[in-house]
Structure 1
């Protein structure tokens, strides 16, 4: 660091009222669990992740005995894990302090042994897919040199079967382990990948599928039936993500035309005779069963909100996570007879609820923009307002429970979440509209929603905060420099601040993403990177800024953030910096609580509400 930047103020408490203070902290401190995953051929062997220990870690659940056991215990947490199909092993990704660079290790499901390298002969790198069979393991590694895929049959030698400078990854393994699907971007566009299927007895190509420029394909899963070469995929041939089944060996396709707005994803039922369809539309999701023989689509009765994950058990029961803006997440199970109950209850007190969100539809320069709006209970406008900009950019804000949204409401601010161009769930054209001009395009939509919020009487135009993390942090800094007068303060978590320096230091998978998004590398299209980089506009920033960053972040590296802050320090602009020892965010609950307190406290002071 070339400049000593002012440290962020860490408040002892956010609210004078003891009940309000306890309530916001309780939302973050309440234990949560993910939807469990289970071994394909030993479904009593299940795993999930939970923050019950205060850190997000991997847990095992032996359904036969009812025993739950914490598997991992690392200072900065563990999030990525799976089981072997026989249920004997738990695999988890071992990185260093959240830097996402490492290798897969495994340990016995029942414990009793330390984790050991899972596949010898594979170098460390960023993970690029993993498929575990009874006899075959295939996994991908990404480094600065590109993507390399490896496989190992039984206890044999580990073989490198694919290498390319472009982004690629292991995607799906057939039930009989004869066929392996990989995703690749040899055509140069990692945002719209192609799929190749290889024979595992020699890794020769069985079939290739690419839908052409601007139309991505994603391999979801092979049929769970042995000898069945059908591969469930996502395509976007009609301008949105939809399902198709590709029978690889017979080279036939079945596109599933579902009478549902928005976009869908899915997975197989265990008997391979139906699909569990997850439907996304205007910030909400729902579940459906699609019968492959009859083409019948049946809704699975779940409340309005967000499905955080779902799977079908061998007996046909559907396990899923659900929440909405007012109600905290819960993992539930719906049996084939329609009975629905709570599946997993984490220990301790439940999180206090919050208030619901409403929808706003605003005409913008690229079409109708969908935003989610929440206001403090009983409050009337015009209100101080925080615009929370989601990351991704290919993601979306949803009607889901968010302790982060709730604490801003507790602080007396209205909350507006904008699904700007670049967001998913609104069709391919909406998602891809930011190509060639990222950042500035999204902010046009944010400005249109900001204008609506002011004109509708919701928002006090003099007291607006723009805030986000990752891509949302990038948009925050870009907004402060390109939209003077709209914002009274900005809160940027793990942002891209200097795009050229970020490109040089970030993980290769993101460099590939950036080349596809910007139209090339910084040396190929320097004007685009310059126009779309926050550091270009740092001289125009004239309101208080808070930046938070992780030392080990491979996505938004620390050096490019320091470059921006050094430029900001040369100006008479109040700013604060919080730096922490983790990667792209923290899996430690206490650290999350600390950062949220810093952010809200900073904004309240900037708005002169404290």
Structure 2
């Protein structure tokens, strides 16, 4: 078991298939996410990237000799570069002459042939680079799509799209010829996960949603799709292969926590992998057979664990993350979870309450992003910060959240956003009735889709919420659609049942700007200049409307993309937000956990 070094970005190191002692991972370099090359045999670590905005995407060829990393700008547009594992300071373009685009997937065959997906407004383009460096265009796929995997022989390619569409999964040859398609439906979504390693016929792993549950499936060119109905899960799962191409490692998200299973598809057995209670943010079977995973719980920042006891190395700036476990800042609070009756069924919420204050207390509802994510039993520095100010922190897994089954995840019956507000209001009413929180001192704080719900609630439910913090929010859904990437447009069409031109009333009904004249609570906005997921211009327009009505507000503008991987930037933002709350939200005290200690990793 690891000593608990914090990971700056909660993703597993990537190991070379034929040289598993060589790995690359995202580590902390002066408070930024950067790619580090790690030789596990001799314990050395070398810094690969050094960019002002940080770097989070990297890959290794099967031999471990070549490191790939994505050199993107704040909007996510960039080029892949390559360098020798032993000389990371010398990199060159991996695909010379190919225009910059957004990351759309990368996969490598056994012989080192690499397939790269690059996404643009017109769709996905696949580029093939052979082991000797020859680059060709393999295929063009219109609309939203992403590269899933290249089979070990380098012959077949799996491409994913909207899991509920008729084009959910497409299998092509490496030169672009269509081999097969696996269709999804709104009630039977399909996700492709990757080809089995090793020799023999290509075998693709998938997850199928069916009958309210989730089950693994496999596809081969000769047999087509085979469903493994005996291995059904009641909540969302993902999976990856063991090296034998027969077993899979399944990670299940269930009720804010995670479980791991070893599943033998041929032997029809399912065994729980022993992991501590909490959340598993990433998991994989490494080429050497070790099961590795990123684990966290409410008081422990994300850390690498493995069944063989792998530990992160000491990098250029210390241990494998920004700080060691002995300076973890956790506050003295009571942590609980509740189930509250709601209009769509029982609502699960995580509650953290200061132990040094009498009930009831001021409260902050920390609204998770998504729409299909969830609040986890995992370390969140914002919880520590807010509890230290004297506030109870409530995290609600409203309808649309994953980890509670497909019926809950797909329920938007009252409308996009409006369904989620019903659940937030139900949990708030329950806690007020229980005497746990003060009726007149309840705030909302959300990032991305959570920021959107924050703005929507302030206008739709002005009597319930005393203050709002909206980081990278959507303020006008129709305007955001026009500026969005193909992937986000596809999601919006799924949620609303069409485009803004096709169903304008649905977009207007779900847009915070529709209700801006009803907002009375002070609002802090944080927007990023390079944000293509939640564009800043509609938020600026929303803020101007508040200004015209003299509603207290503050706009923080950052030089960043949708996700900011600079710890100092997060630190500055948190300090600004706390000052805003002290001015506009009664009951927030100045003393408490130092923000610098609580910020274990950037919040995404």
Contact 1:387 1:415 in 2 (8 A): yes
Map Cα deviations across residues 122-171 of structure 1 (whole Å, 9 max, x no partner): 3222222221233532222222223333334444341241231x211111
Contact 1:193 1:216 in 2 (8 A): no
Task: Name the counterpart of 1:203.
Answer: 176
Task: Name the counterpart of 1:179.
Answer: 156
Task: Name the counterpart of 1:333.
Answer: 306
2:462 pairs, out of 468, 476, 484, with 484
Task: Name the counterpart of 2:14.
Answer: 37
Q: Structure 1 residue 113: deviation in Å?
A: 4.3
1:122 paired with 2:98, answer yes
1:238 paired with 2:195, answer no
Contact 1:240 1:426 in 2 (8 A): no
Contact 2:213 2:405 in 1 (8 A): yes
Task: Name the counterpart of 1:163.
Answer: 141
Contact 2:81 2:92 in 1 (8 A): yes
Distance 1:448 1:216 in 2: 30
Q: Structure 1 residue 226: deviation in Å?
A: 1.5
Alpha-carbon spacing, 1:291–1:380, altered in 2? closer, same or farther (3 Å): farther
Alpha-carbon spacing, 1:111–1:156, altered in 2? closer, same or farther (3 Å): closer
Alpha-carbon spacing, 1:529–1:231, altered in 2? closer, same or farther (3 Å): same
Task: Name the counterpart of 1:136.
Answer: 113
Q: Structure 1 residue 541: deviation in Å?
A: 0.4
Contact 1:288 1:297 in 2 (8 A): yes
Q: Structure 1 residue 605: deviation in Å?
A: 2.4
With the length of structure 1 as denominator, give the TM-score of the two structures: 0.89
Task: Name the counterpart of 1:420.
Answer: 398
2:240 pairs, out of 267, 271, 280, with 267
Q: Structure 1 residue 29: deviation in Å?
A: 10
Map Cα deviations across residues 51-99 of structure 1 (whole Å, 9 max, x no partner): 2421111111011211011211111111111112221111122112x21
Task: Judge which range, 347-356 or 118-127, deviates more.
Answer: 347-356
1:362 paired with 2:328, answer no
Task: Name the counterpart of 1:12.
Answer: none
**Count of aligned positions:** 574
1:349 pairs, out of 324, 348, 351, with 324
Task: Name the counterpart of 2:453.
Answer: 475
Task: Judge which range, 464-473 or 174-183, deviates more.
Answer: 174-183
With the length of structure 2 as denominator, give the TM-score of the two structures: 0.90
Task: Name the counterpart of 2:62.
Answer: 85
Structure 2: gaps (5+ residues): 314-318, 590-604
1:300 paired with 2:273, answer yes
1:64 pairs, out of 10, 27, 41, with 41
Q: Structure 1 residue 256: deviation in Å?
A: 4.8
2:79 pairs, out of 85, 103, 108, with 103
Structure 1: gaps (5+ residues): 1-26
Alpha-carbon spacing, 1:112–1:517, altered in 2? closer, same or farther (3 Å): closer
Q: Structure 1 residue 297: deviation in Å?
A: 1.6
Task: Judge which range, 501-510 or 467-476, deviates more.
Answer: 501-510
Task: Name the counterpart of 1:454.
Answer: 432
Distance 1:455 1:383 in 2: 13
Q: Structure 1 residue 342: deviation in Å?
A: 4.6
1:536-547 matches, cutoff 5 A = 536-547=514-525
Distance 1:50 1:62 in 2: 14
2:567 pairs, out of 572, 586, 589, with 589
Give the CA RMSD over aligned residues. 2.3
Contact 1:242 1:263 in 2 (8 A): no
Contact 1:29 1:54 in 2 (8 A): no
Task: Judge which range, 217-226 or 350-359, deviates more.
Answer: 350-359
Q: Structure 1 residue 359: deviation in Å?
A: 1.6
| Secondary structure at 1:42 match in 2 | coil
Alpha-carbon spacing, 1:267–1:29, altered in 2? closer, same or farther (3 Å): closer
Task: Name the counterpart of 1:8.
Answer: none
Contact 2:116 2:126 in 1 (8 A): yes
Distance 1:603 1:381 in 2: 20
Map Cα deviations across residues 361-410 of structure 1 (whole Å, 9 max, x no partner): 11211122111111113444211100011111110110001111111111
Task: Name the counterpart of 1:73.
Answer: 50
Map Cα deviations across residues 241-278 of structure 1 (whole Å, 9 max, x no partner): 33212223332514253365422211111122311111
1:521 pairs, out of 485, 491, 499, with 499
